[in-house]
Amino acid sequence: MEQENIWHALSVEEIFKNLETSVRGLTTAEAEKRLTEYGPNELEEEKRITKLALLFHQLKNPLVGVLFAAALISFLVGKIIDTIVVAVVIAFNTSIGFLQEYKAEAALRALKSLAAPEADVIRDCPEKGTCIEMRVKAEKIVPGDIILLDAGDKVPADARIFEAINLEIDESMLTGESTPVRKTIEPLDKNLLVADRKNMVFSGTIVTQGRGKAVVVATGMKTEIGKIAKLIKETEKAETPIQKRTSDLSKKLGLFALIAGSLILMVSLIRGFEFYQTFLFALAAIVSAIPEGLPAVITITLAVGVNRMAKRNAIIRKLQAVDTLGSATVIVTDKTGTLTTNQLTVQKIFVNGKMVKVTGVGFAPEGLFEINGAPIDPKKDNTLSLLLEIAALCNDARLRQHKTDGYRWEIYGDPTEGALVVASEKAGFKKEELEAQLQRVDEIPFDAKERYMVTFHKSPEENLRVYVKGAPETVLEMCSDILVDGKIKKLSPKEREELLKVSTEMASEALRVLAMAYKIIELDNLEAFKESIRQKRAKLVFVGITGMIDPPRPEAKQSVQLCKRAGIKVVMATGDHKLTAEAIAREIGILEPGLKILTGAELDNMNDDDLDAVIEQTSVLPAFLHPTNTE
């Protein structure tokens, strides 16, 4: 397909035309035909290694080759006991290596068998009537299929969206961006990076909110994740450090043994000794120069390392990989979910002209509210209480506790909204209880262009409470008053500037910033007030600002320091904004004075020489490149 790299730039009609499909999907017969043409929707795997091949792989060690030569020489000169000893060493060494690598292969196959993804598609639609959804294995999906997307689904293939209702996708596994992407259906510029193709969904990503429909444009190795797999597969395999050392040692030992044996033979003949006896003595000297126990010692040492890694839930396929880990001088690590928790958390709240710090990490509703290090009770602060009430109710996310391995907290919905729900629960405000008291009767859903969300709640006093959250500059534009210490007063131009300054400062600390506002109106003024909001003349009461971040893991900073003490440089790869990346890298200890951050745009404009000149001083790299740079 010539269009495979610019599907995001085409209209929905052009997509359907190029793929010879429609909103009614394919027939089963056509899907089977395309499956034969394009192949199954799965990543190509290396040919499974057989037990015999795995066994012979253990014999490729150069030191084992030297032992074979020593055993042969011993046998030829009649040293049967020596021959048996060397043979036992070879068998022992081979058995340990075979058993370790076979167990690792079996464990990997068991892990792969656990995953059998499926997806909802539209097929075999009647000419008249409603189309019926069917669930098929993801490997059976083909270009032209219509897939259905709903919250919690894993996207089965790369597809172009043609219907989206509050659809948001977590693409962190592909781009490194921790924030879900709000999707659209309009055609986009053809030169956009993968992370900016907001009308596309990509294989392996997760639907966090909303629902939608999309037409599949690429499957298997043609997907973006498939291209990455192909690059990895085509990477030239190099010898591990221990393989290089043992190969070098084997050559030196062999050469030393031959030289020593030759010298013994020459000196003995010059001195007049009998040739046959001298030859046997020289061969014995050659065999004695070979350290038969060395391969077994190396293998046992590596096997111990593999077992230690297994106890830490890390599967090592090849014994030599343990040595490779120990020889590392640079570690390039992903940020999202590796250095950070991948759980947005509210850390700061600005109310009453003061900054409130919120402690606790992740989705567990555990933490304190502090001002200048002193704990406060948020329920005794009218303004802070109202802000947390708005945060919980002007919100579609849910917090749930599951009993899996112990009790685990999970967010259903948008992670940003989830962070607000968690912050409210830390203060003792239960979302379900608030909803029972203040029933939502209407709403203006979040719009990426307008950057705000509004909900309307019927109060016990028989009026409507209007709760608003959104970008600070947008919310401030709609506000005429401000709530300070529970009292409403006029919002002055100076206060407006100060609030914008606070918002900017929080953003510079890599915090994602949202503002809260409210208004109390009469029930019969609902429609008129909705229109005033859309026209930015609602005269709301400003309440406060929240700042949230995907926080570093508590153990990440310690791990980075441990790597540095071991002489290992740590480089962070992320698709986040430069300010976010800088703040996280500094906090963890990766970004130090004299080190640089390299953005994707800067890397796109570099050649190999330019990159070589700066790479040693770079500690933060982009997690993805422009498509033209991945070829």
Question: Would the pLDDT of 172 be above 80?
Answer: no
Residue ranges of the chain that CATH labels 3.40.1110.10: 345-549
Q: Residue 114: what pLDDT?
A: 43
* pLDDT band with cut points at 50, 70 and 90 for residue 85: confident
In the residue annotation, 82 being an active-site residue is answered as: no
Phi/psi class of residue 586: alpha, beta or left (left: φ > 0; alpha: ψ in -120 to 50)? alpha
Q: Would you state the CATH architecture of domain 331-339+553-629?
A: 3-Layer(aba) Sandwich (3.40)
Q: Are 227 and 162 in contact (CB under 8 A)?
A: no
The three-state secondary structure class of 275 is helix
Note the helical H segments in 138-237: 172-175, 224-234
* pLDDT band with cut points at 50, 70 and 90 for residue 69: confident
Distance of CA 220 to the CA centre of its chain: 20
* pLDDT band with cut points at 50, 70 and 90 for residue 302: confident
H/E run at residue 464: strand 464-470
Q: Residue 497: what pLDDT?
A: 94
Which residue from 247, 186, 218 is spatially nearest to 14, judged by alpha carbons? 186
What order of strands is seen across the sheet that includes strand 330-334?
Answer: 330-334, 569-574, 618-622, 596-597
- What is 345-549's CATH number, 3.40.1110.10, 3.10.180.10, 3.40.50.2300, 3.40.50.720? 3.40.1110.10
Provide CATH code, domain 7-41+141-227. 2.70.150.10
Question: Would the pLDDT of 625 be above 50?
Answer: no
Which residue from 342, 325, 324 is spatially nearest to 240, judged by alpha carbons? 324
**How far lies 109's CA from each of 102, 230, 317, in Å?**
11, 20, 11
Mean pLDDT of 91-120: 67
Note the helical H segments in 5-160: 12-19, 28-38, 51-58, 62-76, 80-114
Amino acid at position 403, single letter: K
Between 86-90, 295-299, 366-370, the lowest mean confidence (pLDDT) is in 295-299
Q: Residue 192: what pLDDT?
A: 82
Among the listed residues 124, 334, 442, 481, the single catalytic one is 334
Position with higher pLDDT, 42 vs 337:
42
Question: Would the pLDDT of 287 be above 80?
Answer: no
In 3-state terms the chain splits into helix, strand, coil percentages (rounded to 5) of: 45, 25, 30
Name the percent of the chain lying above pLDDT 70.
85
* pLDDT band with cut points at 50, 70 and 90 for residue 317: low
Q: Are 66 and 253 in contact (CB under 8 A)?
A: yes
Q: Are 294 and 308 in contact (CB under 8 A)?
A: no
- Cα angle 497, 500, 506 (rounded to 5 degrees) comes to 140
Residue ranges of the chain that CATH labels 2.70.150.10: 7-41+141-227
Which residue from 441, 506, 499 is spatially nearest to 474, judged by alpha carbons? 499
Q: Are 370 and 376 in contact (CB under 8 A)?
A: yes
Q: Are 67 and 253 in contact (CB under 8 A)?
A: no
* pLDDT band with cut points at 50, 70 and 90 for residue 352: very high
**pTM of structure:** 0.56
Question: Would the pLDDT of 607 be above 90?
Answer: no
- Cα angle 250, 72, 318 (rounded to 5 degrees) comes to 45
Residue ranges of the chain that CATH labels 3.40.50.1000: 331-339+553-629
Q: Residue 631: what pLDDT?
A: 33
Alpha-carbon distance of 395 to 449, in angstroms, equals 18
pLDDT in tens, 416-463: 889 999 999 999 999 999 999 999 999 998 876 788 999 999 998 889
And the tokens for 574?
A: 């992320």
Alpha-carbon distance of 152 to 159, in angstroms, equals 17
* pLDDT band with cut points at 50, 70 and 90 for residue 308: confident
* pLDDT band with cut points at 50, 70 and 90 for residue 232: low
Note the helical H segments in 438-577: 472-477, 493-508, 526-534, 556-565
* pLDDT band with cut points at 50, 70 and 90 for residue 234: low
H/E run at residue 185: none
Q: Residue 479: what pLDDT?
A: 95
Q: Residue 539: what pLDDT?
A: 92
* pLDDT band with cut points at 50, 70 and 90 for residue 594: confident
Question: Would the pLDDT of 98 be above 70?
Answer: yes
Q: Residue 107: what pLDDT?
A: 60
Supply the Cα-derived Rg of the chain in whole angstroms.
33
